[in-house]
Structure 1
Amino acid sequence: MSAVTETVPVAAPGNPLGRSVRDSLIVAKRNLIRMSRIPEVVIFGLIQPIMFVVLFTYVFGGSMKIGGSTSAIDYKNFLMAGIFAQTVTFATAGSGAGIADDMHKGLIDRFRSLPMARGAVLTGRTLADLVQTAFTLLILAVVALLVGWRVGSFGDTNAGKVLGAFGLLLLLGYAFTWIGALIGLTVRTPEAATSGGLVWLFPVTFLSNAFVDTGNMTPWLRHIAEWNPFSATVQATRVLFANPGQSHSHAWPMEHPVLASLMYSVLIIAVFRTLAVRKYRSATA
């Protein structure tokens, strides 16, 4: 007679927070290696924002009014903060599709058998997406410079403020990837995660100050746009870049855009990370 024994994973010793950070970095490394082996994902991710830069700059630039000016140069400098913000938020769809794909293939079940922190799988994935987003943002900034975008066009700025602007953009992108993670855990297929990740992003990004001056909107629509978390980050980056901004507004997020951007992003991370980790635990229980 033979006995069948079951191996039960034992949690690694040490500080729980330290283990969680270590496990998250390991998962992030795994995802980055995987992304590097599929370069077309990065390439296609670059094509869309570059197309937006070219189309909005050369097709719509001469007909848009910014602070009463129809100068194509003014609109170009006004536009780029919106394009940057849209690019980092659209990474949400990729994050959700990646997590949904891992769930569909049973990879998450294999992670469960390892002595690792439960939240590390999601944190690692979102960190890897953040690195990819930073690379995309860097390439897009180079393209923006080539088409004529310049910082300091409406005032003084410095390297610290410019880096701070990109930091706010990446923080917003990271916050939105947690929304994507929740969507990826909720739907059944990667295709549904991609669709679900984009369907709400278009109204969020276009019902904002990203591409037009909200001063030209009807009052009720302007209020929605000015209290949009996406708009706060766009306005904050324009302030830090010293680029043309929207008409004066009495809405609190537009008067204190940097603080509003930080608060919105941190709040989104806190809420949706909690929901995503809870969903992950219930889905794999």
Structure 2
Amino acid sequence: MSAVLHDGTAMLGRHLRRIRHAPAITVMTQTMPIVFLLFFGYVFGSALAMPGAEYRAFLVPGMLVATAANGIMTGMFTAAQDSHRGVMDRFRTLPVSRSAVPLGQSAADLLTTAAGLVPLLLVGLAMGWRAEGGWLRTAGAFGLLLLFRCAATWMGILLGLASQSEEAAGQLGSATFMLPLLSNAYIPVDGMPAWLRVIAEWNPISAVTTALRDLFGNAPVPEGAAWPVAHPVAGSLAWCAVLIALCAPLAVRRYARGES
């Protein structure tokens, strides 16, 4: 365990230095949520039945979760880049714990995400959003958000290691922007067709978004929804546990075997 922590810390430092020297992707992934928040909040908000201020309070938790879901894209791209440029092969020749390499990437992503959420939250506050559920529930909401980001990152790492090329990982990663659209992150699902509503409510993003809205005190839990949305905190924890339990061991195994 001590070797894993030592090697994982070294890999964490490597990824943080990598982000510092090549900040373009980080800047883009942190800037786009703010652009979308402003766009959806002031353009789409005027077309919905909700008043503008109410919709923006509804939207901010969804945008936070959509940002966390971007861990699939960033994790996939970073892992694919290291894998197909021979960096992973070099690490395998070193006396480094096999789990430390993907663990370091996941930890670095989590730290940069936590820092990157600050500008998004400041913009949300400027737009009128408030956390009204008390400090304890608010802390729980942010903890759940970062746990979901961790689960999304591990999924991305696994997909990146399994990708056939950097280009394929980039194309598949870009397609993940559809996931928040098939959820309740941006709009209520009440007006969707029945079959589409089922898909949206079983989307993990919907459970986490509903949990954040409930914990922040921005919107009540909807009645008559699918189980993960009707019990959003338990549903979110279940989704995160399943994703991490499946993706983390498979990602470590994929890295250790060096499969392409």
Question: TM-score range with shorter-chain normalisation?
Answer: over 0.9
User: In the comparison of the two structures, how many residue pairs are matched?
Assistant: 260
Whole-Å separation in 2 of the counterparts to 1:37 and 1:236:
36
1:205 matched to 2:175? The reply is: no
- The match for 1:45 is 29
Partner of 2:204: 229
Q: 1:57 pairs with 9, 17, 41, which one?
A: 41
Question: Where do residues 55-94 of structure 1 align in structure 2 (5 Å cutoff)?
Answer: 55-65=39-49, 70-94=50-74
Whether the aligned pair in 1 keeps the contact of 2:162 and 2:259 (CA below 8 Å) is no
Correspondence for 2:156 among 144, 164, 180: 180
* Per-residue Cα deviation, 1:216-275 (whole angstroms, up to 9, x for no partner): 112222122112111110000000000024642242212211111011101101101122
- Name which of 206, 218, 221 aligns with 2:193: 218
Instruction: Give yes or no for contact 2:221–2:229 (8 Å, CA) kept in 1.
Output: no
Q: TM-score, normalising length from structure 1?
A: 0.86
Radius of gyration: which is bigger? 1
Which sits farther off after the overlay, 201-210 or 55-64?
201-210
Residues in 2 aligned to 1:186 and 1:126: alpha-carbon distance in whole angstroms: 16
Shift of 1:44: 1.6
List per-residue Cα deviations over 1:178-197 (Å, max 9, x = no partner). 11111211223333212212
Distance of aligned partners of 1:246 and 1:64 in 2 relative to their CA distance in 1, 3 Å threshold: farther
Q: Does 1:135 align with 2:111?
A: no
Shift of 1:105: 2.1
Partner of 1:145: 125
Unmatched tracts of structure 1, length 5 or more: 1-16
Alignment partner, residue 32 of structure 1: 16
The one-letter code matched in structure 1 to 2:74 is G
The letter of the residue matching 2:228 is P
Consecutive unaligned residues in structure 2, runs of 5 or more: none
C-alpha RMSD of the superposition: 1.7
Structure 1 position 100 matched with structure 2 position 80 = yes
1:23: which partner in 2?
7
Q: Cα deviation per residue 1:45-103 (whole Å; 9 max; x = unaligned)?
A: 222101111110110112223xxxx2111100001111000111113212211111112
SS of equivalent to 1:116: coil
Give how far 1:159 is off.
Answer: 1.1
